[in-house]
Structure 1
């Protein structure tokens, strides 16, 4: 007898889903929007990594971040419960590691004198896309908090630092700043 491992469950056909706690809610719920945008960020990083072969040190960091984004999705999909120890939460250590990586990469870049346009190398363009999707994930998480829903502090801080990291990583992927495309104010008037 062959056992099928189906990817579809049909449980979401009516527009509902379940959180990690088993709580059922709409697929359009703010919490689902927040962890959905984190998932999109992760997909963007997968795309960016197709172009980071010339920078293996950056690729290794992005690989770790992709894994951490699953941790973040788990955190966001689990509202605080009585037995917090049973659930995966983001940590301040993960935030601190991102800060150290931002400082390390940024220290290897020329000082900015203008706004940077997304582009340059394929890796940089993909990282800028990931940055903008990450900013949306952060906005969705903030909306969740503003609606009175709890979100862990490290999760919010991680999203904020991640978008900063992705900006610096995009600059780094532009041949350490040499291939950057700068905004020229009013250039097309």
Structure 2
């Protein structure tokens, strides 16, 4: 793929454009660049989540997801390039099944709260949904593969499930929304 970065401050973007992975340049506020930023932000929040205490196996799975998100960014950065495949989406489906298997069924809505790790997983979920919306928007104007959109859709579901898992790991449980709660 691309060259290694040896110089970070190139000044080539001072005019409001940035380089894509295929060597072309585009406006920094283009839908493609906006989508890249959403995926990068998501990857950064997954990195923040990795700063928290969690089971070692889950940590390794999240590190793999970070690598996938980097690849997803690469796919978006290079028009017409494919890096995310059915296998990536299937791996998330497997993780969803694995982590959801031991959770009690939901009967109520839950709040994005609980332990710090669970709360960060909820932030990852919401940023993931925003990245998904950006990918959908990009797909309306440019040809992109289906797998990136499918991947982030599954990943947001996984982050919801992981928030529940992480609350239990911390010794807590879901924080339920209380419809009858007195407000005021």
TM, length-normalised to structure 2: 0.91
CA contact (8 A) 1:71 1:88 kept: no
Q: Which of 99, 105, 117 is the equivalent residue of 1:105?
A: 99
Deviations 1:20-41 (A, max 9, x none): 1112111110011111100000
The number of residues matched between the two structures is: 177
Matches of 1:159 and 1:133, distance apart in 2:
10
CA contact (8 A) 2:108 2:177 kept: yes
Where does residue 21 of structure 2 map in the other structure? 20
Where does residue 151 of structure 2 map in the other structure? 158
Q: CA deviation at 1:186?
A: 4.7
CA contact (8 A) 2:114 2:172 kept: no
Q: CA deviation at 1:178?
A: 3.9
**Consecutive aligned runs of 4 or more in structure 1 exceeding 6 Å deviation:** none
Q: Which of 126, 129, 137 is the equivalent residue of 1:132?
A: 126
Secondary structure of the 1:174 match is: helix
Secondary structure of the 2:132 match is: helix
Gaps of 5+ in 1: 81-86
Secondary structure of the 2:54 match is: coil
Deviations 1:51-84 (A, max 9, x none): 1x3311211110100011000000111111xxxx
Q: CA deviation at 1:88?
A: 4.7
Q: What are the within-5 Å matches in structure 2 for residues 148-187 of structure 1?
A: 148-175=141-168, 178-187=172-181
Matches of 2:125 and 2:72, distance apart in 1:
16
Where does residue 83 of structure 1 map in the other structure? none
Tell me whether 1:115 sits opposite 2:109 in the alignment: yes
Output the aligned Cα RMSD. Answer: 1.5
CA contact (8 A) 1:15 1:27 kept: yes
Matches of 2:155 and 2:28, distance apart in 1:
25
CA contact (8 A) 1:89 1:152 kept: no
Secondary structure of the 1:116 match is: coil
